[in-house]
Amino acid sequence: MNDAVSHEPRAWTARRWWTLVVVVFLVHVALVFTLGAKKLRPVRSVTNVPHVQWAAAEDEWIALNDPTLFALPQGNDFGADIRRRIPPVNKPSFRWTEPPRWLALTTETLGRDFGRFMQTNIPPGWALDFKPAPEFNEPAVPAAPELPRSSTLRLRGELTGRTLLTAPALPNWPAGDVLAPSKVQVLVDPAGRVISAVLLPPDIGLESALRDDNADQTALSLARAARFAPGSRLTVGQMIFNWQAIPLPATNAPANLP
């Protein structure tokens, strides 16, 4: 029991605390005087540092951005020195030493030179003809196309590219009025032979009354017998027969009166 109590740490007295404070203070003061006497290293001057410098308005690089550099006179172009060296023009001062003396003019000589000029240079005469003479002309009458005097054949469609080897003999039909054309649609093989012929109906209703059955059948027969130049493929087209109408023969002649 006594041994255990004797090993316990004893509390510091006030004297020991004050001694520690004084020692720390003295150490602090010593450090201040020791380190405060040293000089700091001088600051090195900064050199070779990039910096921005504003260019003046008359700088050459700034002048390159001027859109009128080559269009308008500039202060630094080749003609600037010449314009600056133009000497000033002084107004002349007239100093008369005597009053003006006017030339004498006689009235007898007025117009003499002009009269002589008019005598030697007579102007040509001009006839006052303000209204030209009338010009007679005849109106141009357009020449009417000559009507066909016989029946004709016309090709339409792809048949226009095939040559008809033999032209058929087309008859003229006796009729009391105009005949409507006969239209036949044909199919031609590569050898040039007609393998199909179909009679087409009229385009308008008025042509039905002007059709002739004999003329239509003749058109079919002539279309089947037609021969064309050889080709590379089948050809479809139309053969249009335009019939020429001739007057009907007189069947009942008038009797001869005494």
Q: What is the pLDDT of residues 102-136, one digit of tens each?
A: 887 777 778 888 888 888 887 777 766 667 777 77
Length of the chain: 258
Give the end-to-end CA distance of the chain in Å, rounded to a whole number.
Answer: 202
The model's confidence at residue 253, banded by pLDDT at 50, 70 and 90, is low
Extract the tokens encoding 232.
């590379």
Residue 157 gets the label, from left (phi > 0), alpha (psi -120 to 50) or beta, of: left
DSSP summary character for residue 62: H
Share of the chain above pLDDT 70, in %: 82
The C-alpha atoms of residue 143 and residue 194 are separated, in whole angstroms, by 39
Residues of the chain with CATH 3.30.2420: 152-246
Q: Is the pLDDT of residue 194 over 50?
A: yes
For all residues of the chain together, what is the average pLDDT? 78
The model's confidence at residue 242, banded by pLDDT at 50, 70 and 90, is confident
Q: Give me the pLDDT at residue 209, please.
A: 66
Residue pair 153/240 in contact by the 8 Å Cβ criterion: yes
pTM: 0.41
Q: Give me the pLDDT at residue 258, please.
A: 47
| 209-229 pLDDT tens trace | 677 788 888 888 888 888 898
Does the domain spanning 152-246 belong to CATH 3.30.2420?
yes
